[in-house]
Structure 1
Amino acid sequence: MFILIVLLMSISLIGIIAVQLYWINNAVESKKAQFKNDVQKSLGAATEKVNERERAEFEKKLKSFVDVKGFADKAELKSFLIEQIDTVTKEKITLGSTFLEENFKLPADFLDNDSIILKRITGKKDFSIATRYKSAENLFPTIDVKKYSFIKRYTDLEKSYMEDAFTSSKSLKPIHDRISNNVLNRTIKEELIKRNINLDFKYGVYSADGLATKLKSGYYTINTKESFPYPLFRDTEGNTSYYLNISFPRENEHILSGISSILLLSLFFIFIIIMAFSSSLFQLIRQKKISEIKTDFINNMTHEFKTPIATINLALDSIKNPKILGDDAKVLRYVEMIREENKRMHSQVENVLRISRLEKNQIDLNTETIDLHDTIEDAIRHVSLLSEDRDGKIETHLEALESELPGNQFHLTSIVVNILENAIKYSEGAPKIEVYTESTSKFFIFKIKDSGIGMNKSVQKQVFNKFYREQKGNIHDVKGHGLGLAYVKEIVDKHHGTVFVESEKGVGSTFTVKLPLI
C-alpha cells in the first residue's frame, strides 16, 4: 500500500507538471506567433510608407520639371480607328481617338548625373460612329477591342508616363540614395510603436542575392532564426530586388513579459505542489520509519525488562524457601539482587522519561560555572569499574588551557558517561579509550577515542537519532534502547554546542564535543 500510494502520487505530480509545462509552452508559442504577426504588419506598413514617400517625391519633382522647365524634343499627333460589327443589331461600330505623343529628355541634374527619355501621351478627343449595314456580304472583319488596350483615356496615359519615368529612375539609383538610414529607422520605429512593440531593434537591407547594402543599423548580420525579412521597394507586379531584415535582441524578454504574471503564478503553484508532495512523501517515510523504530524499541524494552523481572521472581521464590529463610546471608544476597535489578529497571525507565522531557523542554537546565576537566574526571570514575572488569584502560590528555564554562554539572557529566559507556560496550576484548581536551579563544573541545568495532558512513548519519541502533538481522549484540547518544545530542544542543562522530569500521570511533566558553 505504501509503494502504491507513492507511485500514484508520483504519477499525479508528473502529470500535473507536464500539463502546466504544456500550457506554458503553448502560451509562449502563441505570444511568439502574435509578435511575429505584429512585426510583419509593422514592416509591411513601414515599407509601404517608404514606397509611397519615394513615389510622391519623384512625381512632385517630375511634374514640376515638365510643367515649368520642360520642353518636348519631338511631338506628334496620332489617331486610331477601330471598327467592329454587331451581328445582333446589324450595326457597324466605328471608334476613333486622337492623342498627342511628346518625347522629353530629362537633363543630368534631374537624376543625379543620369538621364532618361520620357514619353508623355496626352488624349485629345474621342469619337464614335454607328452605321447599319444591309447584307452579310458587306460585313467588316470582327475586331476585338481588347487587343487595342494601348489606346487609353487621359488619366491612364498620365499615369503611364509617370510610371515609366519612375521605374527608369529607380533602376539608375543605388538603394542608399533612394532612402536614408535615418528615415528608414524612424519609419520602422513609428510602425512598431503603433502595435505596442517598444523594443530596441537592428536592421539591414540585403539584395535578393544576399549581398549587404549600406542601409543598416550599425554592425548587423543576418540570423535566419532570429530575423524577420520583408520585401522592400516592390514594383507594380510585386517583385523586388531588396529585402529588409530586422531582429530584436530582447525579443524573448518581450514575449515572456506579456505572460509573466500568469507564468509566475503557474510556476508558484507547481512549486507548492512539489513541496506538498515532497513533504507528504517525507512524512510517509518518516512515519513508516518511526513505526519500525517504535516496534523495535518495544521489543528491546520488553526483552530488557524480562530479564530483571525473571531474576526478581526467582529471588523472591528462593526467599520463600524455608531453607533460605533460615540463612540470613543468602536472604541478604537475594534482597541485594532484587534491589540491583529494580535499580536497573528504574534507570532504563528514567532514560526514556528524560529524553521525552528534554524534547518537550520540560527540563530546566540550571547553569553554573563549572570546570570541564573536573567533570570529565568525575565521569571516568563512574565507569572505571566497568572498564576494569574487562581489563580496559582509560587514558587522559587534558591539554585545554581554558576549561571553565557555563553549564549544568549533572547533565554534562551524564553525556561524558554515556559516550564512555558506549566506548566500553562496543569494544571487542579489553577496551582502550583515550580522552583529549583542547581549547580555542571561543570553544572548549573534548574528544573520546576508542578502538572498538567502529561504524560505517550510513550508521554515522543516524547514530544520534532517537531509538536508532545498528541492526544485524534480528540480533542485538549489545543491550540498549538507542537513547544514549540521542540524549547526548539533546544536552549538547541545549548548551549551544555541537557533537559529531568520526569512525571507521573495524578501527574505532572518535566522538568530538564542542562547547562555547561563553
Structure 2
Amino acid sequence: MGKKLFVLLVVLMSLSLLGIIFVQSFFINNSLENEEENFVRSVKRSLSYVSNSIEEDEFKDYLKKLQPYLNNENKANSSIIKQLLITAEDDINDKTIVHRNTVFEELYKVPSMFIEIDADSFNISKLYSERVTEYYNTTTIDGKKRMDPETSLKEYSSLGDLDKQVYEETIKTLLKDQPVYRRVSAKQVESLLRKELTKEGIDLDFEFAIYDEDLATKIMSQNFEMTSEARGVPIFLDNYNESSYNLWVEFPERKKYLLSSILKMIVLSIVFTSIIIVAYTSAIYQLIKQRQISQIKTDFINNMTHEFKTPIATINLALDSIKNPKILNDQEKVLRYLGMIKEENKRMHAQVENVLRISKLEKNELNISKERYDIHDLIEDAITHVELIVEDRKGYVKTHLSAEQASVLANETHFTNVLVNILDNAIKYSDEAPKIDVYTENVGNNIIVKIADQGNGMSKAVAKRVFEKFYREHTGNVHNVKGHGLGLAYVKRIVDDHQGHISVESEKGKGSTFIIRMPLIS
C-alpha cells in the first residue's frame, strides 16, 4: 500500500468516526430537547389544571356559604328586566315564530360575616329566566306574509336558575383584595399539584410557591428557590382575566429525571460508539504496525542479502583461487584460503543462529537453565572473545569492577553472548580505535553493569528503538557496518528472561553507554 493511499484511508476513516460521534451527539441532544419540551408542556398543563381547580373550589365554597341567603322568601330591593327577541319564519307551516327570553335580576343583601371585607353587607344577584315562544299563523297580503294575531298559539316555559357567570364575577370582585393565604393553603396546592403531575406521568419531587408580582407569599414549600428553570401560570384571575398572582413550580432533580428518560439510549450509544472507536484504533494500529513490519522486513532482507553476499563472494574467490594450478601446489596459500572459507562460513552460521534464537525466544521454546555465577567472571570471559579484535584496531577494553557483591542467577552461555554482543557493537560503531570501559557497582539488591564506548553514538530517536527486532539506523544504501538488527533484540530478551533490565544512554558523536541491572542472590 502506497503512503498516499494509506494516509487517505486514515483521513477518511477518521472523518467517518468523527461524523458518527457527531450524529450520535446530535441525536442524543435532540432527544433531550424533545424530552424537555414534553416535560415543560406537561408541567404547564398540570399548573393550568391546578389553577382552575383552585378557583373552582373557591367558587363552590363561597357559593355554598351564600346559598342560604338566596331562597325564594327573600325580598329583592331592586329588580331589572332584560328581554331578548328572536324571530324566525316557518315557510313550511306558514307561521312566524318569535322567541322572547325575559330575565329578572333581583338584588339581595347578604351579611359579610364569613367574607372579610370592609362592609357590613354586600349585594348579590339572583336570576330567574322565562322563555316565551309564540307561533303566529300568517296570511299573504300584497305578496308579503303578515302575522295573524288572532290565531296565534303561545308556548311558555319558565326556569329558575342561578347564573354561574354572574356569581363568579361577583365573588371574584369580592375576593380580589383578599390575602392569598386566606384563599388557599399550601397543603391544598401541594396535593393538587402532585395529583395532576402524576396524571401527566411526572413522578418527581417538586417545590412550589405563589408569588404576588415579584414578591413571595406565605403559600410556598420549604425549599423553593426561584430559578430560570421554574415554570408558572397566573392564578386567581379577575373579571378581566388578569392577576398579580402566579403559581410557580420548580423541580430540583429535573436534569437527572430528563437524562434518566433517555439513559438507556445514551448508554447504548456510548457502548456502540466506544466499540467503534476501539475497533477503529485497533485497525489503525494494525495498519501502522503492518507498514512498520513491511518496512522492517524489507530492511532485513536488504541487510541479510548484504551480509551473505560478502562471505559468499569471499568463498567463491577463495575456491577459484584454489582451483588455480599455481596456487593448488602452494600448500600455505591453500590452507590460508581454506581458513578464509571456514571463517566466512562461521559468520553465516552465526547469523542464522541469531535468527533462530530470536524465533525460539518469541515462541518460548528456548530453555534457559540458570545457575549461580559471579558476574565479574562472565564479564572477563566476554572480553576474551573480543580482545584480539580490539588490539588489532589499536583500542582497549578497561574494567572498573567496583561491586562488592556480584553473585547472580544466570545462564553462562546466553549471558556471555549478551555481553559479547554489546562489546561487538561498541567495536563496530567506532570509526577510530575502539575505547571501551566496563563498570560494575551495587545499588540496593542489584548489581549495575555499564559498558561505555566513545564511538559514533546515536540519536535519541534511534536509542528508543535500538532494542526492536530487525531495527537498524537508516543510512541510505550504505552498509558500512555489518549486522542484521537482531543482536540487541536478542540481548533484551535474554536480560528480561533473567529478570533484569537493560537501557542505553547515547549522544550522537560522543558514544553510548549500555546499562544492565541484574538482581543479586545471597
Interval containing the TM-score (normalised by the shorter chain): 0.7 to 0.9
Q: Out of 217, 228, 234, which is 1:231 matched to? A: 234
State the SS of the aligned residue for 2:233.
Answer: strand
Q: Out of 372, 375, 380, which is 1:372 matched to? A: 375
Counterpart contact for 1:204–1:212, Cα < 8 Å = yes
Matched, 1:451 2:454: yes
RMSD after superposition? 3.6
The answer for the alignment partner of 1:31 in structure 2 is: 35
Counterpart contact for 1:293–1:467, Cα < 8 Å = yes
Shift, 1:269, TM fit: 1.8
Matched, 1:200 2:202: no
Matched, 1:323 2:326: yes
The answer for the alignment partner of 1:350 in structure 2 is: 353
Structure 2 vs 1, CA of residues 195 and 403 (structure 1 numbering), >3 Å: closer, same or farther?
farther
Structure 2 vs 1, CA of residues 96 and 216 (structure 1 numbering), >3 Å: closer, same or farther?
closer
The answer for the alignment partner of 2:47 in structure 1 is: 43
Q: Out of 454, 462, 467, which is 2:465 matched to? A: 462
The answer for the alignment partner of 2:295 in structure 1 is: 292
Counterpart contact for 1:92–1:132, Cα < 8 Å = no
Counterpart contact for 1:399–1:436, Cα < 8 Å = yes
Q: Out of 491, 516, 521, which is 1:513 matched to? A: 516
Q: Take 1:395 and 1:113, find their aligned partners in 2: how far apart are those partners?
A: 117
Q: Take 1:288 and 1:270, find their aligned partners in 2: how far apart are those partners?
A: 27
Structure 1 counterpart of 2:173, which letter?
Answer: S
The structure carrying a bigger strand percent of its residues is 2
Q: Cα deviation per residue 1:55-91 (whole Å; 9 max; x = unaligned)?
A: 2333233335x369xx979723555677888899898
- Percent identity, aligned pairs only, is 45
The answer for the alignment partner of 2:107 in structure 1 is: 102
Shift, 1:200, TM fit: 2.6
State the SS of the aligned residue for 2:77.
Answer: strand
Counterpart contact for 1:449–1:511, Cα < 8 Å = yes
State the SS of the aligned residue for 2:176.
Answer: helix
Matched, 1:305 2:335: no
Shift, 1:346, TM fit: 1.1
Q: Take 1:177 and 1:426, find their aligned partners in 2: how far apart are those partners?
A: 100
Q: 73-82 or 370-379, which moves further after superposition?
A: 73-82
TM-score, normalising length from structure 1? 0.84
Q: 94-103 or 427-436, which moves further after superposition?
A: 94-103
State the SS of the aligned residue for 1:172.
Answer: coil
The answer for the alignment partner of 1:166 in structure 2 is: 171
Shift, 1:98, TM fit: 7.1
Q: Take 2:86 and 2:337, find their aligned partners in 1: how far apart are those partners?
A: 149
State the SS of the aligned residue for 1:234.
Answer: coil
Structure 1 segment 48-447 matched on structure 2, within 5 A: 48-63=52-67, 66=69, 75-77=77-79, 79=81, 97=102, 99=104, 101-107=106-112, 110-111=115-116, 117-123=122-128, 154-157=160-163, 159-207=164-212, 209-224=213-228, 226-235=229-238, 238-447=241-450
Q: Cα deviation per residue 1:169-205 (whole Å; 9 max; x = unaligned)?
A: 3312122332233332332223223333222333343
TM-score, normalising length from structure 2? 0.83
Q: Cα deviation per residue 1:490-518 (whole Å; 9 max; x = unaligned)?
A: 11222233322233333333322233346
Shift, 1:363, TM fit: 0.5
Unpaired runs of at least 5, structure 2:
147-157
Shift, 1:161, TM fit: 4.8
Q: Out of 471, 495, 499, which is 1:496 matched to? A: 499
Structure 2 counterpart of 1:426, which letter?
Answer: Y
Shift, 1:299, TM fit: 1.2
Structure 2 vs 1, CA of residues 43 and 100 (structure 1 numbering), >3 Å: closer, same or farther?
closer
Q: Take 2:244 and 2:512, find their aligned partners in 1: how far apart are those partners?
A: 84
Shift, 1:217, TM fit: 3.2
Q: Cα deviation per residue 1:21-67 (whole Å; 9 max; x = unaligned)?
A: 34333333332333233323332333333233322333233335x36
Structure 1 counterpart of 2:46, which letter?
Answer: S
Count of aligned pairs between the two proteins: 499
Matched, 1:471 2:474: yes
Shift, 1:482, TM fit: 0.8
